[in-house]
Amino acid sequence: MSKGWITACHRRRTMPEIVKLMQGNEACTMGALAAGLDFYAGYPITPSTEIAEMCSEELPKVGGRFIQMEDEIGSIAACIGASLTGKKSMTATSGPGFSLMQESIGYASLCEIPVVIIDVQRMGPSTGMPTSPAQQDLMQARWGTHGDHAVIALAPGNVKECFDLTFKAFVLSEKYRVPVIVLTDEVIGHMREKVIMPDPRTYKIPVRAMPATPAGYKPYEADPDGGVPLMAPFGKGYRWHCTGLFHDEKGAPSGKASVAETLLYRLKRKIEKNEAELVDYFAESMEDCDVAVVSFGSSAMAALSAVRKARAQGLKAGMLRIKTVWPFPDAAVRELTKTAHTIIVPEMNQGQMALEVERVTRCNAKVVKLGKVNGDLFRPEEVFEVLKEAF
Amino acid sequence: MAEILDYFRKERLPSIWCPGCGHGTVTGALIRAIDKLGLDKNNIVMVSGIGCSSRAVGYLDFDTLHTAHGRAIAFATGVKLAKPNLKVIVMTGDGDCAAIGGNHFIHAARRNIDITTIVMNNNIYGMTSGQYSPTTPHGMLGTTAPYGNVEYAFDLCELAKAAGATYVARATSYHVTLLEDLIEKALQNKGFSVVEAMTQCPTYFGRKNKIGGAVELLNWIKDGTINVKAAAALPPEKREGKILIGELHRAERPEFTASYLEMTSKVQRTYNDYKGGNRGCELNSD
């Protein structure tokens, strides 16, 4: 049934909504296909492999391309190459593979090439526990590649959001010409939930802004204050140079301080300036909460349960589940301190998001790190115990 | 013949290459081969990695992609599979292609993807000032082989052949007409083609090994090589230690992107038949 939906999506045909039981990895793939995915390159790795398998089956049907590369380094490189020809490209991986991709994520960032990377997080470091969930790549998603750089990362909190946020990843990646990372985890990736897929015609497929003519085309000409240059596809007569060296607006390599400064400033500003559009979170019972829970991904499912239980017992607890983890929603988190004296941060790592919460709240609330790194997922009662004690 | 310089981004010249470097000679041979074949400038994508040789693409007036170290062929694979009608050419060096990028090199050969790879082999890492590379001959010097290279060199052409490349040839910056001719043939092969261009690095390789400047190095290259056709007529002892140049390997094998498109058309036909409509309406073959 979903396959008919994919074809309808690809052909921009209308069809009635469908109800389907699917896993997160499947929903990510559906979201990508709905957004017009043309190209997938990847390397098998647990717990992300279903995405590659599904792409290998579905893409040929809609005239797309799938390739299993020799490693994750090659996978991201091939995706960037394909994106330069104007194709919407994606790869999916998990911790070790995500580490291998970092260099070229930086390349995509500096060269401003749209690409979507799904990281289905598993326990690390190293090979770790390949089939166990974790949220340990939060900081890697932000700072994994070397150098100051711009990046967007989205973290779905349920299966339907895997679809929605992967779709959104393409929208943002094409619009801002940045690599966008979808950070899911083993629980979300493999969990099955009921998803209602709407009429494919209701989706507005993202379209990359392209220049009108090769005459006078400057590949990196844009407003220095966060503008996004128009991207010409390779093979259309623009004959431009794409380089990972610092480059001027013509794309020519440059070692000048002023050129480097201008470029890095623009790359930073293009995310910063658009934070209002980028920031996305789910909030519940926040207005009057004394204790807030800030979380993301599958940990937030247990956390929300705990918050609701607390409310049912008359405790003023609130929940903020962050969907756009990078750029971090500073304002929304800061807002919590207006009522909350304590913020609990359950996450399957040793406190990566808690660090951000501490940075933002600046001692105006007590931040409780609730890290879990044993390969086990959170249970609602674990969060509830900590929550209850905080009142 | 159009002016050679018409294929260059003249405003980006002069190049960063040292006086006496052989990379310009190889680039010139490539451009003349492209010109001779009358290939459309707008249909060519040049991809390179990191190193002295990889800087070539920045000076050329095509769509050019200067990527990360060792990754040229992987990026090129994405370009080619996404748009199989584009002519994709990789310009790389011995370190870029055979060390850090070795895995992509052999797998592209295995797939027989239609990419022409020109490997400028100067036996040294020039950009980082003279460390030994996977093609530095045993016993020769580099800044990281101060007592002579303990390791042994790759034969890149044998490697490409064994991995499945369907056109493999070698020439040098001394044998320029041969080089041009081989590149021309490589560009016409529908599959993964490798042309190893032995070239001189007087600044580091020549100086460190006390061979001399560009002229002495070119002579050193000339004396160390023998044409494959001439070699066939010689007794083994006269071929001993010489590197073969000329066309070394040619094979017929299905090309990857063509096979992939064939598969997708078949899948689309089957799937559309099964779905009962709109057969072939979306065949996207570019």
Question: Structurally, how many domains does chain A consist of?
Answer: 2
- Is A18 found in the same domain as A162? yes
Structure tokens at B211: 């061979």
What pLDDT score was predicted for residue B216?
Answer: 98
Structure tokens at A276: 């209002």
For chain A, say whether B263 makes contact (Cβ under 8 Å).
yes
- Is A198 found in the same domain as A74? yes
- Is A110 found in the same domain as A12? yes
Q: Are B140 and B112 in contact (CB under 8 A)?
A: no
Residue A341 has pLDDT above 90, yes or no: yes
The answer for B 44-83 residues in CB contact with A (under 8 A) is 45, 47, 57-58, 61-68, 71, 74-83
For chain A, say whether B103 makes contact (Cβ under 8 Å).
yes
ipTM surpasses 0.95: yes
- Is A314 found in the same domain as A167? no
CATH number of the domain to which A51 belongs: 3.40.50.970
What pLDDT score was predicted for residue A3?
Answer: 62
Contacting residues of A for B255, CB less than 8 Å apart = none
Our CA angle for A349, A353, A359, nearest 5°, is 140
- Judge whether A47 lies within some domain: yes
Shortest distance between the Cα of A9 and any Cα of chain B, in A, equals: 13
- Judge whether A297 lies within some domain: yes
Residue B98 has pLDDT above 70, yes or no: yes
Helix residue spans in B122-235 (DSSP H): 156-163, 176-188, 207-208, 214-224, 228-232
pLDDT in tens, A154-199: 999 999 999 999 999 999 999 999 999 999 999 999 999 999 988 8
- Judge whether A257 lies within some domain: no
What pLDDT score was predicted for residue A14?
Answer: 83
What pLDDT score was predicted for residue B286?
Answer: 37
**Would you call B82 and A241 a contact, using CB atoms and an 8 Å cutoff?**
no
pLDDT in tens, A298-332: 999 999 999 999 999 999 999 999 999 999 999 99
Q: Are A156 and A143 in contact (CB under 8 A)?
A: no
Q: CA of B209: how far to CAs of A201, B212, B222, B224, in Å?
A: 68, 8, 17, 15
Q: Are A314 and A358 in contact (CB under 8 A)?
A: no
Query: Residue A109 belongs to what domain range?
Result: 2-202
Do the bridges between strand B131-132 and strand B124-125 make them parallel or antiparallel, or are there none, so unpaired? antiparallel
Question: Which helix (DSSP H) or strand (DSSP E) does residue A264 occupy?
Answer: helix A257-272
Give the pLDDT band of residue B1 (cuts 50, 70, 90): low
Average pLDDT, chain B: 94
Domain boundary among A144, A174, A202: A202
d(CA B246, CA B82): 32
- Is A193 found in the same domain as A328? no
Question: Which helix (DSSP H) or strand (DSSP E) does residue B169 occupy?
Answer: strand B167-172
- Judge whether A245 lies within some domain: no
Question: Which helix (DSSP H) or strand (DSSP E) does residue A384 occupy?
Answer: helix A380-390
Across A328-351, average pLDDT: 97
CATH number of the domain to which A354 belongs: 3.40.50.920
Residue A350 has pLDDT above 90, yes or no: yes
For chain A, say whether B14 makes contact (Cβ under 8 Å).
no
pTM here?
0.96
Is domain B4-253 given the CATH code 3.40.50.970 in the classification?
Answer: yes
Domain boundary among A170, A202, A234: A202
Cβ pairs A/B, distance under 8 A:
144
Shortest distance between the Cα of A48 and any Cα of chain B, in A, equals: 21
- Is A33 found in the same domain as A174? yes
Domain boundary among A153, A176, A202: A202
pLDDT in tens, A239-273: 999 999 999 999 999 999 999 999 999 999 999 99
Helix residue spans in A71-206 (DSSP H): 72-84, 95-111, 138-143, 159-176, 186-190
- Judge whether A342 lies within some domain: yes
List the single residue in B12, B79, B278 with the smallest CB-CB distance to A84.
Answer: B79
